Amino acid sequence: MSAGTGRLEGKRALVVGGAGSIGAAIVTKLVAEGAMVVAADRNASALAGVTAEGSVSSAVIDIADAQSVADGVAEAVSAMGGLDIVVNATGISHQGRTIDEETIEGWNEVLAVNLTGSFVLVKATLEHLGEGSSYVFVSSTGAERGLPLNLAYGATKAGLANFTKGLSNAVAARGIRVNTVGPGLMAYPVRNDQDSTDRRVGRTEVVPLGRLGEGSDIANVVAFLASDEAGWVTGQNVYVDGGSLAR
């Protein structure tokens, strides 16, 4: 993680999905840049490791539950005295399911987290944001690709990209910016024997810059988009993928 510049000094940030690999990196980066941060996640125990790393408080938010979102946002606003930055880094997928295997229930589950969740979060936070504030949603390069074995995921991420564009116009007059960061192939922690070194090498070969992404790669871009340095940047889907989409 690169050293902070103080570009977010005095800003108050809520990071939902703050216990995930990317979310935790975003929390760490925003704190390093001087922001006051509430890290939120549905996994309360996982938040302990994130909040222990710096001056971060926590809240439990299940992005798929509107009441949980409302309660968590109220807690964050109370803790920080307001909001300037809202980041949604939540996401789930059903990787490997064919169209025959995916179910309506499964489709709706992914939709609730990956797309509807951002709408619910905006509805709960918008009244607390003023001029100079910003939303940053974490999407995926899957928004630009056909994903036959991850249909719901690709569809929701593409939807999030369009939601970002529409919302950016809807709130521009209030001085609020809205952007999306789309990670490419990431070097997530190894979770099972199938995620072997050979597989990682194969994944790396499709990335022009020659390596998989780290959480800090995404966090650095999120911090920029949330800062006043990006004051004329809104409605954008910024892909951070080592050049993969340019192939």
From 135, 153, 188, 239, active-site residue: 153
The pLDDT score that the predictor gives to residue 49 is 79
Please state, as a whole number, how many other Cβ atoms lie within 10 Å of the Cβ of residue 145. Answer: 14
**Which residues, listed in sequence order, are joined to residue 178 by a DSSP beta bridge?**
135
Task: Take residue 211 and report the two structure tokens written for it.
Answer: 């390596």
Q: Is 153 a catalytic residue?
A: yes
CA-nearest of 206, 239, 246, 222 to 28 is 222
DSSP assignment, residue 115? I
| CB-based contact 139:156 (threshold 8 Å) | no
* Two structure tokens written together for 215: 């959480």
- The arrangement of secondary structure in 12-238, i.e. its CATH architecture, is 3-Layer(aba) Sandwich (3.40)
User: In terms of residues, how long is the chain?
Assistant: 247
Q: How far apart are the first and last CA of the chain?
A: 27
Tokens encoding 50 = 């994130």
Contact partners, residue 245, CB within 8 Å, separation at least 6:
141, 144, 184, 239
pLDDT along the chain (247 residues), means of 10: 80 96 95 96 87 78 98 97 98 92 96 98 98 97 91 96 98 98 83 51 83 95 98 97 92
Phi, psi dihedrals of residue 50, rounded to the nearest 5°: -75, -50
Confidence (pLDDT) at 203 = 79
- If one counts every other C-beta atom within 10 angstroms of the C-beta of residue 99, the result is 8
Q: Bridge partners of 213? A: 186
Q: What is the dihedral of CA 118, 119, 121, 122, to 10 degrees?
A: 120
Quick one: the chain helix, strand, coil %, rounded to 5? 45, 15, 40
Query: What confidence score (pLDDT) does residue 5 get?
Result: 84
Q: Domain-by-domain residue ranges, the chain?
A: 12-238
pLDDT at position 191 = 47
The token duo for 193 is 């024997």
Q: Which residues contact 24 (CB under 8 A, 6 or more apart)?
A: 18, 39, 49, 50, 215
